Amino acid sequence: MRLLLTGGAGFIGRHVLARALARGHDVRVLDSLREDVHHGLAWAPPPGVELVVADVRDRPAVLPALSGVEAVIHLAAKVGLGVDVQDLPDYASSNDAGTASLLAAMATTGVGRLVLASSMVVYGEGLGHCAEHGPVAPGVREESALRRGQFDPPCPECGRTLGAQLVDEDAPIDPRNAYASSKFAQELYARNWARSTGGSVAALRYHNVYGPGMPSDTPYAGVAAIFTSALRRGQAPRVFEDGGQRRDFVHVRDIASATVAAAEAGVAGTRAYNVGSGTPRTVGEMATALAVALAGAAPVVTGEYRLGDVRHITADSSRARAELGWYPAEDFDAGMAELAHSR
């Protein structure tokens, strides 16, 4: 299959490119090599892979890049959390307008298959489970409760402490920052394009991605980079709250295999897929795995907290398994060891 891979020079993009080539696909990469992502570091594609250096908003460059293409894997985006309102224009321009421009070019050239890199951040706080009310959106974690060490959110109906609940693709959407809002906007633009053109969209909501080549200044890195840096300095990693925050840490090679599987499947219409390991882990478990891998000091649980942090967000990825025939293959401890020793 002839694929156009946007953002193919990035962290996830390089792994998707390797997976697509291993599967025998013909890949053309389009990447702007933007300075705030690549920091001036040179990148050259593997032999036989064409690189188009351009922004997805550059229609004169994108139209010929789509020539002969059967499917587009769209990873190009401004990442980060966008916690400042001044970040909104750049996220809207890079991610929303960028995706809209790409979709318009696809409509012009007749390319009808899209795999879109979305994110678990579209769910916000996700879901919790109340013994009385079942699955509910978690209530606000008040600072007074956090100071007392009550870290799990309350049920908004009765105030009882909520248990963790896997989030499936039908969970309420609640983006909490500029990046999250832009990722869901990308999904909406893609849905509109599919309805208008008869095209197909697989929107992959990646969970907490880690692996070799992970940069230290993106939301993918998060606490993994902080913990690893501390351990390399001979210090114990400091774990906030009680260390029981649950996440779904998924290896970038598993992300890559899911992404290529979605391109090969060619789903009908528009379909969202969670992409996670299927095995929730706590932040404390991740810190311990990194400490073991680096033969460093055991993690210290501090009880500190940050207002606005999500307590639990973990994926139900059964739809991807059932419909795409995809299964994660990477071992967590081995993956953390690989991450710990990568540069």
Alpha-carbon Rg of the chain, whole angstroms?
20
Q: Please tell me the distance from the alpha carbon of residue 163 to that of residue 161, in angstroms, as a whole number.
A: 7
Q: Which residues are CB-contacts of 294 (< 8 A; sequence separation ≥ 6)?
A: 228, 231, 232, 340, 341
Tokens of 26: 């013909």
Task: Provide the β-strand partners of residue 53.
Answer: 31
Our CA angle for 298, 232, 256, nearest 5°, is 95
SS (H, E, C) 123-180: HCCCCEEECCCEEECCCCCCHHHHHCCCCCCECCCCCCECEECCECCCCCCCCCCHHH
DSSP, residue by residue, 36-104: HHHTT----PPTT-EEEE--TT-HHHHHHHTTT-SEEEE-----S---SGGGHHHHIIIIIIHHHHHHH
Q: Which of 162, 261, 213 is nearest to 12 (CA)?
A: 213
238's enclosing H/E stretch is strand 238-239
Q: Which of 91, 123, 179, 220 is catalytic?
A: 179
Is there a catalytic annotation at residue 179? yes
Q: Which residues are CB-contacts of 86 (< 8 A; sequence separation ≥ 6)?
A: none
Catalytic residue numbers read 179
